[in-house]
Structure 1
Amino acid sequence: MVWTWVRVGVGVLLGAVTGLVELVYLIWAGIILVPAWPQPRARRAAVQRIQAGARNLAEVERWRLAAFLRAENASDYTGARAVEYLVLRWAVGLLGGLVLLLFLYGAAVGVVWVRDLLVGRSTLLLAVAQVLLGAVGLFLCVQGFAGIAAIERHLARRFLGPSRREALERRITELSTSRAGVVAAVDTERRRIERDLHDGVQQRLVALGMLLGRARRAPGSTELVAQAHEETQQILDELRDVAWRAYPAALDNLGLHEALLRVAERAGIPVRLRYELDERPPTAVETAAYFVVSEAVTNAAKHAYAQEVTVDVARADKLTVRVQDDGVGGADPSGSGLSGLARRVAALDGEFTVDSPAGGPTVIVAELPCA
């Protein structure tokens, strides 16, 4: 938190310097524009020079905003927009400088107050009053910094923000990436189902066929018939597991809460589920949330050697799924399972994060829009 405010303070300080530079630049621009205004050719040349210089200053501002105020802006703004931005922005920069000067003045006065208290020039009552006054001044300065930063971001977004064309291009890129991710996730899921059927169910069917062949050649062999019957039950269990992992019927019939309870029952380790939804989310969101929890719990049991998993499902503006385990950590977000979940969440314009330092804990969070 302290470093955040230091970063903002440095950003405001640099903004005060650039604000002064921008004021001087605008004065210079007015000086060269006024005499050139009656002549169209000279006016166009002057306007082009002014706009080119304004873009250079705006690029400096974009760097400052990104580096210190965490404000990202587009680069496709026009020179005219850059001039409009500077016309308003210089005043905000100087205002930020004024707030910074007040903060430094208050800090200097506080040092003097502390010195007076240490050398006995101040009474206890006066010291208490000074502390209260200093706290109020600090609060006002902090709010001033926050307000200046908010105005800076708003101005940059208003004048230097992406054009409609760039916004659409970004959206097209995001949708193309999401579509490719969905296709890859579907292919991965198909390969997993094929592998489960080939390595599990198919092998058991082969064994069942061999048992039935032996039973035909040895009439009256109740032991072989019993083995075949047991193998049939195991095949049915594996088919149910494959079908459940592909898409649980309980999700459609009973809802997300019941489906997650069954995930907890089948996990093999204790799973604490906190489900705080008052109504069912949309089907696509419900499905994505289910698979996030299912994959995360499976990974915790099989790979993280966890002793307990906590699952939280809540909804504010978005449906948030948070899965935390006490395992060894080190989960790879680029692995097939987690990357597939990331693509599934991205396809719904959601956000997916994995925090898994070595030694644990692993925390997986998915935020899914429900509108």
Structure 2
Amino acid sequence: MQAIDPRPGKTFGHSTPYGATASSWRGTLPGRSLRTLAGVMLGALLAVAELGFLLVFALGLIPIVAVPRSRRAVIRFTHRCARQLATLEQRRLVRFHDVHDLGPYGDRQAFGYVARRWPLGLLGGLVLLLLVFGLVVAGSMLSAWIFGGAWGFIEEDGGAVSSATIAVAAIPGLVLLYLNVMGIAGVRQLDVALARHHLTPSAEDVLARRVSELTLSRAEVIQVVNDERRRIERDLHDGVQQRLVALGLLLSRARRSRDPVHAADLVRQAHDESEQALADLRDVAWRVYPTVLDQLGLQEVVSVLAERSGIPVTLRYDLPIRPPAPVETAVYFVISEALTNASKHSGAERIRISVQAAVPAPLGFAPATEPTAVVVTVTDDGRGGADPRGRGLTGLAGRVAAYDGTFTIDSPPGGPTTIRAELPCE
């Protein structure tokens, strides 16, 4: 169901409530089992490639012994190849084993992982071969038991596969099948544990990267604050200040005028100028911080932004509850700046805004809990080619980074332009 606002160009979508998505087939037990089998099988194939790579590397040690100067070049080339293999392994783990917390890692870490991973991959391949062999044997026995008479498997001396043989073989067969399945699950767990041990940064690396990110975000925040101050000064100087000067001149002329009709006309013009100056001042204050955000909430304020836009806006708001106040403020400024840039530079005819929760709930109903993150997407159908290093977009990226969020821009020449920001609510 989609609710359409009667205002032209404004659409508020509520077609899918937060968390109201049915579990996909991939999340079911058969789907997870098939994905695990595919991941172990692909891991076995990659293990063969990794073993071959290590053998070639062992042969590459020969020129190092003969020509010591080639040591750096050989090791550098080997590490690059190991990194490519580690990247393939990382993609496999993400796709089939849902491991998303790997990296960043260096070439030396990648080589160490590849050097230790291939025996586990070959073990997984061996377990899969045993599973296939057991299934083939079980299938042959069942076929001989069910269809043996028709296919000529029943011997004259009574040597056919009997029901008693099937009953006796079923118990150890099921035990072996269980052990085989547990072996595949164990290979998967070991595979994940090995990857996390070698392909995740150490605590020191995490802290160093975090300090670097905080230093960069602090510099970006300072730049954003300075840009905001300059913009406010410019708006006050070019707008409010000019109108106040005109207001003073009109009142001065009205005081000196001896014609009551002319003086009344000047006072009327001064009144109009005062109203316009007050409106300009409200606009400046709104751009600094909309106080109604605290009173009415994010949805109402974003609706006002969409209403005031010079380009028709389609708005979809899909948050179950209000996010924290700092997140609301950041979302507001992202949408406001994106609309301003689109109106000035894009030449777009329509803009789509989406404000949604980042992670849907696993169950089929909407829980009354705070979302883990808010995802804001602003897309226009303009000419594209937006410069991510521009002042406005750089300021937005710095503002989002200050909240530990992620900010991406996709604006190919010819459009469309998509600005996406994800802000954690924790």
Q: Common fold, TM-score beyond 0.5?
A: yes
**Is this contact kept in 2: 1:214–1:224, CA < 8 A?**
yes
2:216 to 177, 187, 191: 177
Are positions 1:217 and 2:279 aligned together?
A: no
**What are the equivalent positions in structure 2 for 1:225-240 lying under 5 Å apart?**
225-240=267-282
Superposed displacement of residue 264, structure 1: 1.1
**Is this contact kept in 1: 2:351–2:380, CA < 8 A?**
yes
RMSD of the alignment, in Å?
3.7
**What are the equivalent positions in structure 2 for 1:212-291 lying under 5 Å apart?**
212-219=251-258, 220=260, 221-291=263-333
What secondary structure does 1:357 align onto? coil
What secondary structure does 1:345 align onto? helix
Q: Which amino acid aligns with 1:352?
A: F
How many residues were matched structurally? 289
Are positions 1:62 and 2:83 aligned together?
A: yes
What secondary structure does 2:321 align onto? coil
What secondary structure does 1:363 align onto? strand
**Residues 161-188 of structure 1 deviation map (CA, whole Å, 9 limit, x = unaligned):** 3111111111111111111111111111
Segments of structure 2 that go 5 or more residues without pairing to the other structure are 1-40, 59-73, 92-101, 130-185, 360-372
Which residue is 1:119 aligned to?
Answer: none
Superposed displacement of residue 238, structure 1: 0.4
**Residues 58-84 of structure 1 deviation map (CA, whole Å, 9 limit, x = unaligned):** 7753343237745644349799x94xx
> Per chain length, whose mean CA-contact separation is higher, i.e. which structure has more relative contact order (CA < 8 Å, sep 6+)?
2
Superposed displacement of residue 353, structure 1: 1.0
Which residue is 2:203 aligned to?
Answer: 164
Moved over 6 A (4+): 9-12, 23-26, 53-59, 76-79, 96-99, 147-153
Normalised TM-score (structure 2): 0.60
Are positions 1:91 and 2:123 aligned together?
A: no
- Distance in 1 of aligned mates of 2:300 and 2:344: 23
Segments of structure 1 that go 5 or more residues without pairing to the other structure are 1-8, 27-52, 102-146
- Distance in 2 of aligned mates of 1:360 and 1:292: 19
- Distance in 1 of aligned mates of 2:319 and 2:86: 38
What secondary structure does 2:346 align onto? coil
Are positions 1:369 and 2:421 aligned together?
A: no
The 3 A distance-change label for structure 1 pair 213 and 344 is same
**What are the equivalent positions in structure 2 for 1:1-371 lying under 5 Å apart?**
15-20=47-52, 22=54, 60-66=81-87, 69=90, 72-75=103-106, 82=112, 85=113, 88-94=116-122, 155-219=194-258, 220=260, 221-317=263-359, 318-371=373-426
**Is this contact kept in 2: 1:73–1:160, CA < 8 A?**
yes
Q: Which amino acid aligns with 2:316?
A: R
Which residue is 1:132 aligned to?
Answer: none
Superposed displacement of residue 248, structure 1: 0.6
**Residues 7-59 of structure 1 deviation map (CA, whole Å, 9 limit, x = unaligned):** xx999866523325658999xxxxxxxxxxxxxxxxxxxxxxxxxx9999777
Q: Which has the higher helix share?
A: 1
- Distance in 2 of aligned mates of 1:86 and 1:354: 35
The 3 A distance-change label for structure 1 pair 245 and 73 is closer
**Residues 265-319 of structure 1 deviation map (CA, whole Å, 9 limit, x = unaligned):** 2112221111111111011111111111111112222221222211111103321
**Is this contact kept in 2: 1:12–1:148, CA < 8 A?**
no
**Is this contact kept in 2: 1:65–1:72, CA < 8 A?**
no
The 3 A distance-change label for structure 1 pair 73 and 19 is farther
**Is this contact kept in 2: 1:273–1:310, CA < 8 A?**
yes
**Is this contact kept in 2: 1:326–1:361, CA < 8 A?**
yes
**Is this contact kept in 2: 1:76–1:163, CA < 8 A?**
no
Q: Which amino acid aligns with 1:234?
A: Q
The 3 A distance-change label for structure 1 pair 153 and 337 is farther
What secondary structure does 2:225 align onto? helix
**Is this contact kept in 1: 2:43–2:124, CA < 8 A?**
no
What secondary structure does 1:303 align onto? helix
Q: Which amino acid aligns with 2:236?
A: L
Normalised TM-score (structure 1): 0.68
**Is this contact kept in 1: 2:82–2:114, CA < 8 A?**
no
Q: Which amino acid aligns with 2:194?
A: L
The 3 A distance-change label for structure 1 pair 238 and 21 is closer
Q: Which amino acid aligns with 2:419?
A: I
The 3 A distance-change label for structure 1 pair 78 and 225 is closer
The 3 A distance-change label for structure 1 pair 235 and 327 is same
Q: Which moved more, 1:89-98 or 1:180-189?
A: 89-98
